[in-house]
Chain A
Amino acid sequence: MTRFNALNLLRHAMSGHKKWTEQWPDSQPKNEYDVIIVGAGGHGLGAAYYLATQHGITNIAVIDKGWLGGGNTGRNTTIIRSNYLYDESARLFDHAVDLWQDLSQELNYNVMYSNRGVLMLAHNVHDVQSFKRHIHANRLNGVDNRWLTTEECKEYCPPLNISDKARYPVMGGALQERAGTARHDAVAWGYARGAAARGVDIIQNCAVTAIRRNVDGSVAGVETEKGFIKAKKVAVSAAGHTSVVMDSAGVRLPLESYPLQALVSEPVKPIFPCVVMSNAVHAYISQSDKGELVIGSGTDQYTSYSQRGGLPLIEHTVAAITEIFPIFNRMRMLRKWGGIVDVTPDRSAILGKTPVQNLYVNCGWGTGGFKATPGAAHTFAWTIAKDEPHPINAPFNLERFRTGRLIDEAAAAAVAH
């Protein structure tokens, strides 16, 4: 791996940038690995990276049915925040936000983390009370979050319409200044490059068709399109397809997969300085460095594996955006797409061990997995390496659906999930 620095940039400029080495090889599967990770998104590649850098395990394969970062990692709206209500969630997401701060330096790869702030708008008395409660809970947990008045919201985000004649007038907002966005593809690429440099095989376009178990019940390896691969440990990080993969190992999960849509506008000059979310009218918006407005929609009402989603949601989303930002009502939308998100009953992730020995799972991130990428990958690697929960991911175990110890972000709803 050639390090990216000024000297190397200069050196390669001399040869017209034609001699850069590949960032990761297109690996073919070996017969056996210490750890196989199913799913080469940010979470899976990140786990491989931390296994290699922090736990000395490098005989790893990360296997994906498509290309790396081609699933939800490349389809989300890149919002990063940690203003969750419950202690368990605040710890996990804030751990991720901590790691986001210097991830570019850690990976020697610019993930373009930008803490431009996430502003959540309150449109009614209930919103105001609930957001203030979130702010107090967050501050007690050491999580950055503060209240802005309507005028302060306008000052922070000038395109905002704060007219009291609006259908849903802005009554204030909760601002997390440490939150922001990152370049989603770069996260997958940075982790892939870092992992591959330490000997991790990244195997693309090779679907895992089943997980095989030994007679004693423990994991034996995975069946793939390129044949059987033996593994001491298997970790599944397959987002919307986790149920399908885990079913083959005889593990049934409390997951349902829904399409989640997003869209971008035509690119324009910088106009939108932060991320704005509104739960009441259901709008999420920021501006990418390319200039597109990046707009998040909701999940369709029905479960599906089609990476499309229905148009009624897009119509609803665009209506919400133009309601809060009338300035955008003549803007043309460029494209829309869908990703398949795996949703748990309590809207919190499942991150840890499974009933099958040496089989681990990182799933159930629903509509908000991107922000957690470094934190989830970091603690997941710990769990895979040591075969025990990390203090931060311990509450996110699978047993909670039996014991009843849920982490009910569905009810707390830091966001309309």
Chain B
Amino acid sequence: MLLIHCPYCEETLPEAEFAHAGQAHVVRPENPSAQSDEEWENFLFIRSNVKGPHYERWRHVHGCGRFFNAVRDTVSDRFLTTYKAGAPRPDLETLTGEVK
């Protein structure tokens, strides 16, 4: 069972309270009608599927209900950090440096 820190509730809680919500920082197109098929494919389907530190979204579905972002190592499943939606993407080197 993963323990996940909700940056809104400021509490570390069991995985069962949360829902994984896919890759983070996938930017919705500003002008959808001007998108090419290739751009739609990238936006809708192509994912980075990182082996290692991965930026992803979670939702505190059985708590505050809010979406937030996390950096989790997909090899160890260890969370490096969680941060509020809209906050800038944290720098990976400082994160991994801190953990080790």
Contact = CB atoms under 8 A, between A and B. Distances in A.
Interface of A: 241, 243-244, 252-257, 301-306, 308, 310-312, 342, 345, 401-404
Given A306-B76, A402-B37, A403-B37, A255 B49 contact: yes
Contacts of B19: 301
A119 B93 CA distance: 51
B15 A312 contact: yes
Interface in B7-49: 15-16, 19-20, 22, 37-38, 40-42, 44-49
A303 B45 contact: no
Most A Cβ at <10 Å: residue of B16, B19, B49, B74: B49
A306 B52 CA distance: 10
A244 B52 CA distance: 11
B49 A257 contact: yes
Contact of B72 (A257, A302, A342, A402): A302
Contacts of B45: 254, 345, 401
Given A301-B20, A306-B74, A310-B2, A244 B51 contact: yes
Interface residues of B, number: 26
A235 to B, nearest CB: 20
Contacts of B1: 310-312
B37 A305 contact: no
Contact of B77 (A244, A255, A304, A312): A304
B87 interface: no
A157 B16 CA distance: 34
Contact of A402 (B38, B51, B54): B38
> 6 tightest CB-CB pairs across the interface, nearest first?
A254-B45, A243-B49, A302-B20, A301-B20, A402-B41, A401-B45
Contacts of B77: 302, 304, 306, 308
Interface in B60-86: 72, 74-77
A300 to B, nearest CB: 8
Contacts of A345: 44-45
A200 B41 CA distance: 37
Nearest to B58: A302
Given A310-B2, A345-B44, A305 B51 contact: yes
A304 B74 contact: yes
Nearest to A406: B45
B8 to A, nearest CB: 19
A342 to B, nearest CB: 8
A30 to B, nearest CB: 29
B69 to A, nearest CB: 13
Given A302-B72, A402-B37, A402-B41, A256 B20 contact: no
Contacts of A403: 37
A257 B22 CA distance: 11
27 contacts: A241-B51, A244-B49, A252-B42, A252-B46, A253-B49, A254-B45, A302-B20, A302-B72, A303-B49, A303-B54, A303-B56, A304-B77, A305-B75, A310-B1, A310-B2, A310-B15, A311-B1, A312-B1, A342-B49, A345-B45, A401-B41, A401-B46, A402-B37, A402-B40, A402-B41, A403-B37, A404-B37
Contacts of A308: 77
Contacts of B2: 302, 310
Contacts of B22: 256
Given A244-B51, A255-B47, A255-B49, A306 B41 contact: no
A253 B46 contact: yes
A169 B19 CA distance: 29
Contacts of B49: 243-244, 253, 255-257, 303, 342
Nearest to A242: B49
A191 B91 CA distance: 47
A272 to B, nearest CB: 30
Contacts of A244: 49, 51
A303 B23 CA distance: 9
Contacts of B16: 312
Given A257-B49, A306-B75, A308-B77, 12 more contacts: A241-B51, A243-B48, A244-B49, A254-B45, A255-B49, A256-B47, A301-B20, A302-B56, A302-B72, A303-B49, A310-B1, A312-B16
B36 to A, nearest CB: 9
B20 to A, nearest CB: 4
A306 B51 CA distance: 10
| Residue of A304, A308, A401 with highest tally of chain B CB at under 10 A | A304
A311 B72 CA distance: 19
B74 A303 contact: yes
A402 B15 CA distance: 34
A311 B76 CA distance: 15
Nearest to A255: B49
Contacts of B37: 402-404
